[in-house]
Amino acid sequence: MVEPFGIASLSIEACKALVSYCDGWRAFDSEIDSVKTKAEGLLSTLQLLDKLLAGTSAVHPILTADIELKMSQVEARITKVCQQVTKCSVISQSSGVEQKLRETAKKAKYPFRRDTLKSAANDLQDIQINLNTALLALQIQQTESLRNIEVQGASIITTVNQVQSSLDTMVGTG
């Protein structure tokens, strides 16, 4: 005799799996777009930072080396994530039945790739945090450089005022 509780339990688990599968399919496009947007945004930030570092000789060499190292470490990972997301995404190039079947097949694979995409999104977030730390160090160095320039400027103003005062005294007594 078949155990009714075993069948019910198995059915509940099967229904839960099906609901989870359908939920994953529904979120397919927006989650992929989100990860792809993060990757593209981070990649453009890296490219901009690369240009800034190339055009600035005022950046401390140690900071430049640290930022360049971080950039080289993450750029390959970002490119890989972009390729994974593009591979998973569904881009309709035609309205034919064959294309719709391909799209459906890709969407059917999505729940199995969802964890990979979430992992990629977490990787991108970690990369962004590391890059933000490097940028913060750069900002601190630049702030310190500006502070030194300000102190030097104040010293020059004080010296000019002293010279002016001395000249005024000489002209007034002469």
Q: Kindly state whether residue 11 falls inside one of the protein's structural domains.
A: no
Q: Kindly state whether residue 105 falls inside one of the protein's structural domains.
A: yes
Going by C-alpha positions, the residue among 110, 133, 139, 138 that lies closest to residue 32 is 110
Q: Kindly state whether residue 9 falls inside one of the protein's structural domains.
A: no
Q: What is the pLDDT of residue 19?
A: 57
Question: The tokens of 50 are what?
Answer: 């690369």
Q: What is the pLDDT of residue 173?
A: 65
Do residues 71 and 49 make contact, with C-beta atoms less than 8 angstroms apart?
yes
**C-beta atoms surrounding 36 within 10 Å:** 20
- Over residues 106-156, the pLDDT tens digits come to 666 666 667 777 777 777 778 778 777 877 887 888 888 889 999 999 999
pTM of the model: 0.55
Question: The tokens of 46 are what?
Answer: 């890296």
- Over residues 147-164, the pLDDT tens digits come to 999 999 999 999 999 999
pLDDT score of 12 more than 90 = no
Q: Kindly state whether residue 54 falls inside one of the protein's structural domains.
A: yes
- Domain enclosing residue 37, as ranges: 29-87+94-161
Q: Kindly state whether residue 139 falls inside one of the protein's structural domains.
A: yes
Q: What is the pLDDT of residue 5?
A: 47
Q: What is the pLDDT of residue 34?
A: 74
Q: Kindly state whether residue 166 falls inside one of the protein's structural domains.
A: no
Q: Kindly state whether residue 174 falls inside one of the protein's structural domains.
A: no
Q: What is the pLDDT of residue 164?
A: 94
CA distance 42 to 95: 33
Q: Which of 16-20, 99-103, 117-121 has the lowest mean pLDDT?
A: 16-20
What is the total count of domains within the chain? 1
- Over residues 38-86, the pLDDT tens digits come to 777 777 777 777 777 776 666 777 877 777 777 777 767 777 766 666 6
CA distance 144 to 47: 25
